[in-house]
Chain A
């Protein structure tokens, strides 16, 4: 069987990216950890945003990590699915809104 591109266990090795560039790695993780601390938004709200973005960018690692995180921070299935619908609506809407461009061009080109 061929080796898959995405290996679940690799998520645990995320911290190892500092191995090749420690200074930037540290800066990234310090910032990353600060971002997810409770602030004007709760940790649950931040986890749900991350979950939605994870689906928008279709990152399997992030989907695993932020499904767990959303549940851990107290979100339920309904909230999680609504978050994904928000991401999907923006993705879908972003394609569809370009329809205006298509319509403009069409009007330019046609009688």
Chain B
């Protein structure tokens, strides 16, 4: 499957996506917040630096908000990674969340992880699992992660092959299970190892996610019984109505209903803890955003535009940029890169 970018699809443009989202008659997200007295939405801290090291990926998942794929060549340079390391020290940021694409495909990935680990920072890597089996040079990733105490966070849409392959591509389930077994062998997901392996569930369709605790029990039971796989936590996230998932919603005729569903389930409590309030997102080229979703919509953070110019005080004074897509993070129990937030 080619990316929207490769197909020169109109939704490859962030501006066009915003136009589509704003064209509907739904109540503006900003008005919803204004009515609650929560506008402008301000940061509560810069606790996590989420670094998107590139859009290159070995998979082309149908819901991907990054529009990542093998045909994307945008990846972060070592110089930009160095600017991230400088910002981490300057801002005393204790958690760095590395995402992509498949972050491991960036040739500077291991160097970056090593530098972060040397700083004593908690490193999270969003690994798609199949990359571990994609090439011999990636086979030792579980040991590399373990050596640096990296927290591994991996998408697995379902404990069954059917749902996983439908969303992430033919054969992905089998490879994901094999990769999980390799991570388990390296100590990941085992209670006493201190090596955390967390899985991410997102609905495979125009549906809201279920309660995290309940689904986690199902995942744990089925993965252990059928594949001998163990993991720590399941993060349940909502699909954002942007990029490829927006394309799916429009093509399948589910767009209006999905937005209505998100809005009907708007939860003011979730606004308190949305991830954009304590996270700063860095794009492959060093540009700064309030979150990975704003990054994909080309909505830059206010105040400071590049990681090389990192200034915590200035960033803390900014107002977070909002749009109709934000309903995705505030529906039901809320949604973040760490799952439910309420």
Please list the residues of chain A having a beta carbon within 8 angstroms of any beta carbon in chain B. Answer: 38, 42-44, 68, 71-74, 76-78
Q: List 21 A-B residue pairs with CB atoms under 8 Å apart, sorted by A's residue number.
A: A38-B211, A38-B214, A42-B214, A43-B210, A43-B211, A43-B214, A44-B215, A44-B218, A71-B203, A71-B207, A72-B203, A72-B208, A72-B210, A73-B210, A73-B215, A74-B158, A74-B201, A74-B210, A74-B214, A77-B163, A78-B162
Choose among B207, B209, B210 the residue with the greatest number of A CB atoms under 10 Å from its CB. B210
**A36–chain B nearest beta-carbon distance, Å:** 12
Query: Do A77 and B203 form a contact, CB below 8 Å, given A42-B217, A42-B218, A43-B211?
Result: no
Query: Do A76 and B214 form a contact, CB below 8 Å, given A71-B203, A71-B205, A71-B207?
Result: no
Top 3 A-B pairs, shortest CB-CB distance: A73-B210, A74-B215, A76-B160
**A74-B201, A74-B215 known, 12 other contacts, Cβ within 8 Å:** A42-B217, A42-B218, A43-B210, A43-B214, A44-B210, A72-B208, A72-B209, A74-B210, A76-B162, A77-B162, A77-B163, A78-B160
**A65–chain B nearest beta-carbon distance, Å:** 13
Cα A72 to Cα B201 in complex, Å, equals 11
Please list the residues of chain B having a beta carbon within 8 angstroms of any beta carbon in chain A. Answer: 158, 160, 162-163, 201, 203, 205, 207-211, 214-215, 217-218
**A93–chain B nearest beta-carbon distance, Å:** 28
Cα A74 to Cα B216 in complex, Å, equals 10
A38: chain B residues at CB < 8 Å are 211, 214
Cα A48 to Cα B217 in complex, Å, equals 17
**A67–chain B nearest beta-carbon distance, Å:** 10
Cα A42 to Cα B219 in complex, Å, equals 13
**B252–chain A nearest beta-carbon distance, Å:** 14
- Evaluate contact between B214 and A72: CB separation under 8 angstroms: no
Nearest residue (CB) in B for A38 is B214
**A3–chain B nearest beta-carbon distance, Å:** 23
Nearest residue (CB) in A for B207 is A72
Cα A66 to Cα B84 in complex, Å, equals 47
Cα A42 to Cα B201 in complex, Å, equals 17
Cα A44 to Cα B219 in complex, Å, equals 12
Cα A102 to Cα B162 in complex, Å, equals 44
Cα A72 to Cα B211 in complex, Å, equals 9
Cα A35 to Cα B163 in complex, Å, equals 28
Cα A71 to Cα B209 in complex, Å, equals 9
Cα A111 to Cα B17 in complex, Å, equals 80
Nearest residue (CB) in B for A47 is B210
Cα A7 to Cα B209 in complex, Å, equals 27
Nearest residue (CB) in B for A73 is B210
**B300–chain A nearest beta-carbon distance, Å:** 34
**A4–chain B nearest beta-carbon distance, Å:** 20
B211: chain A residues at CB < 8 Å are 38, 43
**B236–chain A nearest beta-carbon distance, Å:** 9
A76: chain B residues at CB < 8 Å are 158, 160, 162-163
**A40–chain B nearest beta-carbon distance, Å:** 12
Nearest residue (CB) in B for A43 is B214
Nearest residue (CB) in A for B215 is A74
**A14–chain B nearest beta-carbon distance, Å:** 14
A72: chain B residues at CB < 8 Å are 203, 207-210
Cα A16 to Cα B210 in complex, Å, equals 26
A42: chain B residues at CB < 8 Å are 214, 217-218
- Evaluate contact between B207 and A68: CB separation under 8 angstroms: yes
Cα A72 to Cα B215 in complex, Å, equals 10
